[in-house]
Amino acid sequence: DIQMTQSPSTLSASVGDRVTITCRASQSISSWLAWYQQKPGKAPKLLIYKASSLESGVPSRFSGSGSGTDFTLTISSLQPDDFATYYCQQYNSYSWTFGQGTKVEIK
């Protein structure tokens, strides 16, 4: 299985900060990478698919980049609603795997 390594595991930030989360795949996944936001007690919400495509209805402050093995999720200006846990996921092969998550906390 392809291993996905996310960093950092926890991130403390303030409203208005620029936030970057990275995800590394153990082998090339081309651009078959998604990013999700999850809040407590809720299902994950798709933010980005195919590494850099913004899902409909998701604010433009979220952006994704990368290809191959290295990927980045950026929040350009952190808003109160953005404090949550973020996951990356590869879907290059039919054995989807997820990163371990990054919890974005209030500083």
Residues that bind other proteins (CB under 8 A): 1, 34, 43-46, 49, 55, 87, 89, 91, 94-101
Supply the minimum distance, in Å, between the C-beta of residue 89 and other proteins.
7
Beta bridge partners of 37: 45, 86
Spatial separation of the C-alpha atoms in residues 3 and 24, rounded to whole Å: 8
3-class SS of residue 81: helix
Supply the minimum distance, in Å, between the C-beta of residue 34 and other proteins.
5
CA gyration radius, the chain: 13
Report the residue number, 6 or 69, with the smaller CB distance to other proteins: 6
Supply the minimum distance, in Å, between the C-beta of residue 6 and other proteins.
9
Report the residue number, 16 or 57, with the smaller CB distance to other proteins: 57
3-class SS of residue 35: strand
